[in-house]
Structure 1
Amino acid sequence: MRGASVSDRAELTGSRLPTQPGPPRPPGDAAEGTVARLGRLDVLLVEDDPGDALLVEDTLEDTGLEVSLRWVRTLAEAGARLTTGPVPDCVLLDLHLGAEQGLKVLDQVLQWAPGAAVVVLTGLSESQAGMAAVAAGAQDYLAKAQLEPDRLGRAVRYAVQRRQVQQAVAALQAEQMRAAENARLERGLLPVPRVTNPRLGVVARYRPGRAHSLLGGDFYDVVETADGLVHAVIGDVAGHGPASAALGVSLRVAWRAFVLAGMRGPQLVELLEELMIGEQGHDEMFVTLTTVTLSPDEPVARVVRAGHPGFLLHAPGEVRLMEPPGALGVGMAPGLDGWREQQVPLPPGHALVLFTDGLFEGQIDDDGARLDVTGLLDVARRHRHRAPDDFVDSVITDVEAASLRHGGLDDDVAVLHLGWNTR
């Protein structure tokens, strides 16, 4: 296309202009290796002067870069390209487009295509404008009157590479922020049990569900009060993301504070609902939870279930599913509680295994079947002879393996194994 006239080129506004490979480079040329790594580049030229557009295209053809070039004359055309099609690797941008002038042109292009590298094209006496453009977000600037293949090729290559580095650094920083947020939320949702009685065995585990960049709303806590009683809670906030996790943290912290203040049983759950409604207003969020109170002197567990799944009773060689009567989850029907404390026999050597629904809701076949609590019970019974730590870890591992072929755990999993040691 080198022999076409400027008027011929003007008829191709917005089309993909073919480019010819430049002259071969020596085998050891470092630039050649860089170009090879970059591969084919999509470049958008935003230039209202056909003569300057022809100059840029001809110069690009001699750079040795593999380029697919599109040319548009106006900022409006650039916006149409950048907002409806794939984002180009590089935008070569004239800052003077008729009535559109200066850094406002650059700002608009950066808003439309934040992932593209931008090289600003300036007049010979506009070095200050070029530097201002770089300060405003462009990767580089070039004077049109000094366009040469090496200089233009270097500017495009380096601009794309710098933009890639910037994006990689930004992604790394975002990942570090997510990791820090996870750590903060984990401390709030999954605290260290506050128990001093050496007779109590506590095993606590948590596994995140697939594709969750942040922890969900699953939470647990175990605390011993001055009267020697041990209290535990496990809960699951409906939904995922920061709002669910924040609500889970609030409820878990409030639960511990209420327990230490002497609240027990259904009254404690009612207080949690009042707190939740006050915090969430009219948001339609709810929480399922189970609270447990254990006494070292009594072979029973006092249990309150609020919409939460049942639990397992585990002893060496034995696993049973327990589903004492319960009521609706917290926040499902404010004011219509109906929660009651149930006494569940806890013979010596037995332990309660509390869990959230992520442990049994994973998909296990191509037809969409779920493990369900009956399948979980079968898994648990295979490991009934194991010690508490191994029992919990083996159950979670088997559940994960069963769902792995279908994408892994759909939801977060929290597990508490609580029981008095007989020694």
Structure 2
Amino acid sequence: MTATAPAIAAYADDQLYRVLLVEDDEADALLVEELLHDTGLPFRLTVTTTLADACAELVGEPADCILLDLHLPDASGPAAVATVRASAPHTAVVVLTGLSERHAGTDAMAAGAQDYLVKGKVEPDLLRRTVRYAVYRSRSERAAVEAQAARLQAQENKRLERGLLPQPLLETRAVTITTRYLPGREQALLGGDFLDAVEDDGVLHGIVGDVSGHGPDAAALGVCLRIAWRSLVLGGHRGAELLRLLDRILSAERREPHLFATCALITLDQGARTATLHLAGHDAPLLSTDQGTLEVSSAHGIALGIAPELGQWPQTVIPLPATGGLTLYTDGLTEGYAGDTDRRLGVDGLLGLIDRLPPTDPGTHVDLLIKEARALNAGRHTDDLAVLRLDWGPRGPSEGS
């Protein structure tokens, strides 16, 4: 898209232009400085006489526009443009050519310069327009690159999300499933948090897990563990045996030896009116009833990938009330700060938030809880969070997720 003159003028009105002049001829450098003063542009000028000095200057002091002579003691021609572009890829470059160099300007633009000026034929108005347009176009190109990177990142997020957040495999409407997943940072790739729920022989099985670290390695390992869990559950594996198999898979599949994972397994059997819980280094779930919400008192086992030889994961059997809900979550929900303090929210703070929330359906309740927790944290702690909530009883089937 071609920038219009009004758009460039509006963009440049009050901008201070940081100009780096790379010129080894003292008389030419003085002439350029005088022309810059005559343009009326607000500017701060830095002058270097070699390309090496210019590149060193750009490391400590970024520039908005580089005015580059094509004949320097240590570089010349398109190679000089390529070098300075490598040092400052998002900075506008305008080259200064001689009267006899017919093709030098176009060759420099092919090498990455935004424009060129012929020495001896530069007037203040021309220099003003050239600098403003070059900076505007450079910024526009950078914005386009960043937008493309954001699009690619969004596509990668969708691909990872399909692996980390599958469609629950259910046959019954007796239990309402609510799932939420939020990355810790804006535009961040999904991390290693994962969740899933499947039904097998009339019994509902769920998992929430958290791979240590962030980025593609953690996400890939989270996807691997989630798929392995679903396959193993449908293959009849349960409890501590299932966790031992996941521990072996994690140790075999992780790319970095320090990666580990916490997880909570839940088996909800409405026929027996019980929920069986296994924790591997993970927070206990929350049980909500008509009397309120509390953390389930649970036996704990070691996280996966820490010490396979110590892998003991005792079970906790939870009697189910006629109506209620179990919320499993990753620590991204509790490790944020509790308002304007250095104190973490923690489970007690989370329970306090829940007590203050109005009665509502499970999906809205989870959304409000995440919103309140993030508002208190105010962006100071950045971690992914995943929530799996299971609701049963007379109200469950009629509520959305």
TM-score of the pair, normalised by structure 2? 0.89
Partner of 2:354, secondary structure, is: helix
Q: How does 1:138-157 map to 2 (within 5 A)?
A: 138-157=113-132
In the alignment, is residue 127 of structure 1 matched against residue 112 of structure 2?
no
How far the C-alpha of 1:69 sits from its partner, in A, is 2.0
8 A Cα contact 1:219 1:235, kept in partner: yes
Over 3 Å counting, the alpha-carbon distance change for 1:172 and 1:323 in structure 2 is same
| RMSD, aligned α-carbons | 2.5
Are the aligned partners of 2:157 and 2:190 in contact in 1 as well (CA < 8 Å)? yes
Tell me the SS of whatever aligns to 2:194.
strand
Instruction: Please give the alpha-carbon distance, in whole angstroms, between the structure 2 residues aligned to 1:288 and 1:264.
Output: 17
What residue in structure 2 maps to residue 416 of structure 1? 388
Q: What's the offset of the Cα at 1:206?
A: 2.6
1:79 equivalent in structure 2: 55
Given candidates 333, 346, 358, the residue that maps to 1:359 is: 333
Residues 273/212 of structure 1: CA separation in 2 closer, same or farther (3 Å cut): farther
State the partner residue of 1:53. Answer: 29
SS class of match (1:146): coil
CA–CA distance in structure 2, aligned partners of residues 389 and 109 of structure 1: 54
Given the alignment, which residue of 268, 278, 284 partners 1:294?
268
TM-score, normalized by length of structure 1? 0.85
Structure 1 regions of 5+ residues with no counterpart?
1-28
Query: CA deviation digits over 1:173-202, x for unaligned, max 9?
Result: 222222222222222212221112111221
Asked whether the equivalents of residues 219 and 414 of structure 1 are also in contact (C-alpha less than 8 Å), the reply is yes
Matched position secondary structure for 1:62: helix
Change (3 A) 1:32 1:403: closer
CA shift, 1:134, in A, is 1.0
Would you say how many aligned residue pairs link Structure 1 and Structure 2? 391
Q: Which moved more, 1:179-188 or 1:138-147?
A: 179-188
Residue in 2 that maps onto 1:106:
81
Q: Cα deviations across residues 100-136 of structure 1 (Å, max 9, x unaligned)?
A: 2222211221122223110011122333232122122
1:306 aligns with 2:280: yes
Tell me whether 1:62 sits opposite 2:38 in the alignment: yes
Map of 2:192 onto structure 1: 217
CA-CA distance at 1:386 after TM superposition: 4.2
Given the superposition, is the C-alpha separation of residues 222 and 35 from structure 1 closer, same or farther in structure 2, using an over 3 Å criterion?
closer
The question of whether the paired residues in 2 share the 8 Å contact of 1:230 and 1:294 is answered with: yes
Which has the higher Rg, Structure 1 or Structure 2?
1
Change (3 A) 1:282 1:391: closer
Q: Against the structure 1 CA distance between its residues 106 and 319, is the aligned structure 2 distance closer, same or farther, given a 3 Å change threshold?
A: same
Residue 41, structure 1, aligned to residue 17, structure 2: yes
Cα gap change, 1:361 to 1:121, in 2 (>3 Å): same
The aligned residue for residue 399 of structure 2 is none
Aligned equivalents of 2:174, 2:11: Cα separation in 1: 67
Percent of aligned pairs sharing the same letter:
46
Corresponding residue for residue 183 of structure 1: 158
Deviations 1:357-402 (A, max 9, x none): 2222221144411222122223334458544334333433433343
- State the distance in 2 between where 1:402 and 1:61 align: 50
Matches of 2:351 and 2:7 in 1, distance apart? 63
